[in-house]
Amino acid sequence: MEENIASLASAIGGRVKQERQARHWTLDQLAEAAGVSRRMLINVEQATMNPSVGTLLRISAALGVGLPDLVQSPEPKGVKVTRKGEGALLWSSAAGGRGVLVAGTEPPEVMELWDWTLGPGDQHASEPHTPGTKELLQVLQGTVTVVAAEQTVVLETGDSLSFPGDVAHSYGNNGPDAARFSLAVFERGVGSAHREANNA
């Protein structure tokens, strides 16, 4: 598993550097656009750390690419299969929680499909995504508490929820057993602001 994490960190670092250099941006320019420190970007590009999902989202938004583009190898268009165990593990916890990005589409209409497990007591807070982002969640096992748009909703196995992803939100497991849910995230127009600026 540590080899997979190191391999993913290396792939992410390479993609961030490739996308940054393709835009002829310095580390400082990307850091400012993404709202992260220069040191953080150096650590990401050199794969010396495993960045948080929030950091990756800020970097991908600044570059005008979807999160799946940063964590998946570029492949020819068409059918892409992600076999069991091959998704990008982007969050984990001491209680056994895991956030795995299992599939995604390319900009400008980016759709992400996640497989989440929350161990007992796990909480995962997410910063607001780009304006207009929508999220869909279905609980596959256990009980999940979602806080979004100042509402708290407790979901049981089989329950579903749709909510805006462009507000601060969180997922939690207050129960004694592991909880698992599938999450789809839709971001419209990823990279369109960068394309418009380049065309101006």
Domains located in the chain, CATH noted: 2-76 (1.10.260.40), 88-187 (2.60.120.10)
Per-residue model confidence (pLDDT) at position 170: 96
Which string of b and e fits 25-38 if b means at least 16 CB within 10 Å?
bebeebbebbebee
Residue at token pair 């938004």: 61
When pLDDT is cut at 50, 70 and 90, the band that residue 18 belongs to is confident
Over 90: is that where the pLDDT of 96 sits? yes
- Token digits of residue 113: 């499909």
Q: Is 148 left (phi over 0), alpha (psi -120 to 50) or beta?
A: beta
Per-residue model confidence (pLDDT) at position 198: 41
Better-scored residue on pLDDT, 51 or 126: 126
E runs forming strands in 59-192: 88-92, 98-104, 110-118, 123-126, 134-141, 144-148, 151-155, 160-164, 169-172, 179-187
> Is residue 165 within a helix (H) or strand (E), and if so which, with residue range?
none
133: closest CA among 89, 184, 70, 195? 184
Percentage of the chain surpassing pLDDT 70?
88
**Taking residues 29-42, what's their average pLDDT?**
88
